[in-house]
Amino acid sequence: MSAPAPGTLVLLRHGESVYNAENRFTGLLDVDLSDRGVHEAELAGAQLAAACALDPSLVPHRILTSPLVRASATAAIVAAALPGPPPLVPEWRLVERHYGAFTDDLRESVRAEYGETAYWEYRRSFDHRPPPVEEGSGAAARVADTFGRLPDAARSGMRRDTESLADVVHRLEPLWEATREALDRGENLLVVGHGNSLRAFVMLVDRLTAPEVQVLNVPTGMPLVHRFTRQVPDDGAHPGGKSRLGAQPDAQAAGAHLVPVHRGGRYLDADRAEAALADLEQRGGT
């Protein structure tokens, strides 16, 4: 039996939140979209709807979204603009990174307290965790409220005190495996998450190294499209373990696996994304 063509994956960071606008560490706090963020979500929905009208392979069968309101509200706005509309599926593994003691703090205050080097390591390095959230603090109570609204699997499946990006990658691995299997069946998916949960997800999708993901930024409200092909292990006729790209129809049954056509994907609006990424870089990154 011929395998279906691989599905298409669209990644979308939620629109700007009120804490993004204030340049605060949000982490697991459940905050709303700003007015600008609502507009970004509406624009993303319109862009994706227009692209779907030209290319049906972009129409998502499902929308996987972080249950935090800034992401789920973005997902709902986008879904309303799409054919169907596609069903929304909450996925706790997509919640934002737990920023520990930095939660609710202004970024500039943390930079001033810890210094530029430590600030960068906590924010951008792969395996550094911020200090744990302080028990009894207002931030700890609000984070506990978020955990209380997540499924039991989340309370046992992620750290409760602080997270590194490596921790986020670890909790996302099962979701990426399920997503990969759905794509391999020909299902198109839209994944709506947060700056760091999507950085971690892209690391899995594109097999990025730690240095590569450290410099990766994800702007708000910009649909990022990943298309896939099947990579077939060589039959041994060529030395070096090379693989062949562009699988035959029966490659799914021949041990092929999905690889992105373009490593890093392609933004629907490349010009706007380039400008947004430049602005993010100037402000210190996602």
- State the binding site for substrate: 13-20, 26-27, 70, 96-99, 123-124, 195-196
DSSP string of 36-100?
Answer: HHHHHHHHHHHHHHHHHHH-GGGS-SEEEE-SSHHHHHHHHHHHHHSSSPPPEEE-GGGSPP--G
Binding-site positions: 13-20, 26-27, 70, 96-99, 123-124, 195-196
Q: What's the rounded Cα separation, in Å, for the pair 110 and 131?
A: 11
Which is the catalytic residue, given 96, 163, 194, 226? Answer: 96
Separation of alpha carbons 80 and 21, rounded Å: 25
3-state secondary structure of 271: helix
Enumerate residues 6+ apart whose C-beta is below 8 A from 183: 6, 7, 8, 9, 189, 228, 258
Sheet with strand 9-13: strands edge to edge: 88-90, 62-65, 189-193, 9-13, 224-226, 266-267
Q: Are 48 and 268 in contact (CB under 8 A)?
A: yes
> Position of tokens 């606008």?
21
257 is catalytic: no
14: annotated active-site residue: yes
Active site residues: 14, 96
